[in-house]
Chains A and B, each alone.
Chain A
Amino acid sequence: EPEVTQTPSHQVTQMGQEVILRCVPISNHLYFYWYRQILGQKVEFLVSFYNNEISEKSEIFDDQFSVERPDGSNFTLKIRSTKLEDSAMYFCASSEATGSGELFFGEGSRLTVL
């Protein structure tokens, strides 16, 4: 069964460092998303991406964050200068279309900022 894969599963970094989280969405999906969950808190929407551009982003997704689809398979989330409060589980998701609410999520990448 097709699945969304994410790497790394866990990354530890120093505050101020750049981090890139990688995702391989399901191959025929056209819409891509990043969500995150700070420990003990709710899963929060960060950004949606379609046709090589951001379609919507949340207030959390400030100038420190960027997304890119550098080739036909990868979808990346970059955090330019990490802060302690960026420590969270980051989930990538994809969907074939919009309107159904059905997203296919990866296992998540746990980011720990020291």
Chain B
Amino acid sequence: GDSVTQMEGPVTLSEEAFLTINCTYTATGYPSLFWYVQYPGEGLQLLLKATKADDKGSNKGFEATYRKETTSFHLEKGSVQVSDSAVYFCALSDFGNEKLTFGTGTRLTIIP
């Protein structure tokens, strides 16, 4: 079946550091890939997505590229801010629907 494996947390970085959160997947079909973020006290919200190989999703300075050859969708940001502190979830949808398969989530804390 489908599965998503993402970097175990928690991750703690200093402000302005470079961020990478790894995500790899297995899927039977040709999935769409997503990063969701949950800020403290809020629900999960879509951060970015990519629907086909080599697509790059981007939002709020975050980027992730759909790599079919390595079955990966790593999240990156060049310079993190304290406000980026949150839990980040990698997810896939195998049939273009909303039955998402999630990873466990990675808690990111940015210290000033």
Taking CB atoms, residues of chain A closer than 8 Å to B34 are 101
Residue picked from B42, B96, B98, B101, most chain A C-beta under 10 Å: B98
Contact B43 A4 (CB under 8 A): yes
Contact A31 B105 (CB under 8 A): no
Residues of A in contact, count (CB < 8 Å): 27
Interface stretch (choices B20-28, B44-52, B61-69, B78-86): B44-52
Residues of B in contact, count (CB < 8 Å): 25
Distance in angstroms from B7 CB to nearest chain A CB is 14
**Contact for A102 among B49, B102, B105, CB less than 8 A:** B49
Per-residue B-contact encoding for A89-114, CB less than 8 Å = 1, 0 else: 00101010011011111111000000
Distance in angstroms from A26 CB to nearest chain B CB is 11
Q: Is B99 an interface residue (CB 8 A)?
A: yes
Instruction: List 10 A-B pairs, minimum CB-CB distance, nearest first.
Output: A105-B43, A43-B102, A105-B44, A101-B93, A106-B43, A102-B46, A107-B43, A42-B104, A45-B99, A99-B96
Q: Can you list 24 pairs linking A and B with CB atoms under 8 Å apart?
A: A4-B43, A35-B100, A37-B105, A42-B102, A43-B100, A43-B102, A43-B104, A56-B97, A56-B99, A93-B44, A95-B98, A98-B96, A99-B96, A99-B97, A101-B91, A101-B93, A101-B96, A103-B100, A104-B43, A105-B36, A105-B38, A106-B43, A107-B42, A107-B43
Residues of A whose CB lies within 8 Å of any CB of B are: 3-4, 31, 33, 35, 37, 40-45, 48, 56, 91, 93, 95, 98-99, 101-108
Residues of B whose CB lies within 8 Å of any CB of A are: 4, 32, 34, 36, 38, 41-46, 49, 89, 91, 93, 96-105
